[in-house]
């Protein structure tokens, strides 16, 4: 497990899988592709990503400004990046989620 900013993630070795759960909504949309590319380089077999499906407003929580949702994604965003996608719930309704999986090599 790593704690930090995925946009500057520099692992010292490869892992079988990378799991980024409810993080994409916390980075600007322009940073999604480079962040996923970092995770894909760190994983040998699989990258799993989860985030809210559509707009789900959230400000800072517990005095942590990084908890704010700054991006909102739809399944097509991840499909265009080569991920298999499943959505649960209804778009733009809190509690609805995207799960995106990319199988590598």
pTM of the entire predicted model: 0.89
Output the CA–CA distances (angstroms, integers) from residue 97 to 4, 55, 70, 72, in the order listed.
Answer: 23, 11, 16, 11
Please tell me the predicted confidence (pLDDT) of residue 2. 80
Separation between Cα atoms, residue 104 and residue 81, nearest integer Å: 13
- Per run of 10 residues, the mean pLDDT along the chain (length 105 residues) is 86 94 94 96 97 87 80 96 97 96 95
| Pairing of β 97-103 and β 15-21 | unpaired
Helix (H, G, I), strand (E, B), or coil: what is residue 63?
Answer: coil
Separation between Cα atoms, residue 35 and residue 78, nearest integer Å: 12
Please tell me the predicted confidence (pLDDT) of residue 84. 98
Please tell me the predicted confidence (pLDDT) of residue 4. 83
Please tell me the predicted confidence (pLDDT) of residue 64. 78
Per-domain residue ranges of the chain: 15-46+72-105
Please tell me the predicted confidence (pLDDT) of residue 16. 97
């Amino acid at each position: 497990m790593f704690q930090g900013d995925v946009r500057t993630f520099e692992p010292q070795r490869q892992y079988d899988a990378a799991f980024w759960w409810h993080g994409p909504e916390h980075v600007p949309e322009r940073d999604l592709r480079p962040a996923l590319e970092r995770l894909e380089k760190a994983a040998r077999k699989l990258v799993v990503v989860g985030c809210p499906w559509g707009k789900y407003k959230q400000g800072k929580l517990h005095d942590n400004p990084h908890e704010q949702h700054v991006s909102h994604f739809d399944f097509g965003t991840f499909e265009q990046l080569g991920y298999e996608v499943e959505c649960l719930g209804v778009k733009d309704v809190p509690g609805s989620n995207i799960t995106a999986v990319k199988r590598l090599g």
